[in-house]
Amino acid sequence: MARTLCLQTPCCDKIYFCRFCHDENESHPVNRKDVTELVCTNCDTRQKVQAECERCNLRFGKYTCLECKLFDDEEKNQYHCDGCGICRIGGRDKFFHCEKCNMCLPIKLQTGHKCVENVSRSNCPVCLEDIHTSRIPCHIPDCGHLLHRTCFEEMLQAGHYACPTCQTCLIDMSQVGVALYRVTHIRGSITNMSPCVSQLWKYMDHEVSMTPMPPEYKDFKAEILCKDCHEECIVKFHVVGLKCKNCGSYNTCRIKGSPKPDLPRRRSSQETSTPAPGTSSAPEGAVGGNATPSPPSE
């Protein structure tokens, strides 16, 4: 933020260097786009918002956005995105605006990300703070729901691996250690997660095999829903975990009552969606790449 000017905040008619200074000292936030006047710190002239002082011709910032009322002397490859409605950093050539997600994403995700409508306009599901205008970079898991990168790292450190919004695994659990993992930070991003002890799903397989069920429960079955592949299936009941037959995940939950020894076989989605020749049937309805988007400029 350039220190060559102060903003005249219209909400309380006070002078502050930036909107963050205002928000830290007042009980209400300021809408920077409502700011119409500024004060030059070189000559103390109060004037309308513009790129140069009308009295001493001082340029208020190397980067100036009159729409966002943003003046910055640091080079951050800033650019204004009309779709986001704010200035972002990182370079316009490295990001694109996804109309459905309604946010700027890295070019490498242009053909490979899962769109979630207006996803950045929701608050972080962990800290419940704003994501769209936050200066904290956000993490994009495969499910497409956003959360702050710092919140994502804290969740992993606390042993929580599921998306708070949809409960899908945030990372590949077949590659994550049981109790320990190492997170290497390079320029504020997660670059390496080394599996330690063993791979978690394989560890769960081992625990199941080493924990025999009592004879009265040995043949019990349970109907489950997998939170990763969203398939329903019938599996052998076990107190350690219920493994999805479709994808091998233990990120599952029981459905339709208590385990029973005589559950009928459930047909797969392939069987229900492809009727035999000469017959017709209505298919059963199925139960419903990590990168960092361009962060906003100050």
The CATH number of the domain holding residue 253 is 2.20.28.10
Q: Identify whether residues 64 and 96 lie together within a single domain.
A: no
What is the Cα–Cα distance from 137 to 131, expressed in whole angstroms? 8
Note whether residue 57 is domain-resident. yes
pLDDT of 28-80, one tens digit each?
999 989 999 999 999 999 999 999 999 999 999 899 999 999 999 888 999 99
**The predicted structure's pLDDT at residue 263:** 63
Q: What is the pLDDT of residues 112-150, one digit of tens each?
A: 888 999 998 999 999 999 999 888 998 999 899 999 999
First to last CA, the chain: 7
**Helix and strand counts by DSSP (H, E) for the chain:** 4, 17
In a domain, 12, yes or no: yes
Domain match, 85 and 63 both? no
In a domain, 62, yes or no: yes
Q: What is the pLDDT of residue 292?
A: 64
Query: What's the whole-model pTM score?
Result: 0.71
Token pair 């009928």 in the structure block, residue: 264
**Are 68 and 137 members of one domain?**
no
Q: Break the chain down into helix, strand, coil percent, rounded to 5.
A: 15, 25, 60
- Give just the sign of the alpha carbon dihedral 159, 165, 169, 171: negative
Please provide the average confidence, as pLDDT, over all residues in the chain: 81
Question: Residue 274: inside a domain, yes or no?
Answer: no
Query: Is residue 86 located within the same domain as residue 142?
Result: yes
Return the structure tokens found at 89.
């950093």
Chain segment 247-287, per-residue pLDDT in tens: 989 999 999 777 777 666 555 554 545 444 444 333 333 33
The total number of structural domains in the chain stands at 3
Residue 160, pLDDT > 70, answer yes
Instruction: State the pLDDT at residue 3.
Output: 80
139 plus 91 within the same structural domain: yes
- Euclidean distance between CA atoms 243 and 237, whole angstroms: 9
Q: Where in the sequence is the domain holding 31, given as residue range(s)?
A: 5-75
pLDDT tens readout for residues 180-235: 344 433 333 443 443 433 478 888 899 999 999 998 888 899 999 999 999 999 99
* Distant-in-sequence, close-in-space partners of 252: CB < 8 Å, separation ≥ 6: 224, 225, 226, 227, 241, 242, 243, 244
87 plus 147 within the same structural domain: yes
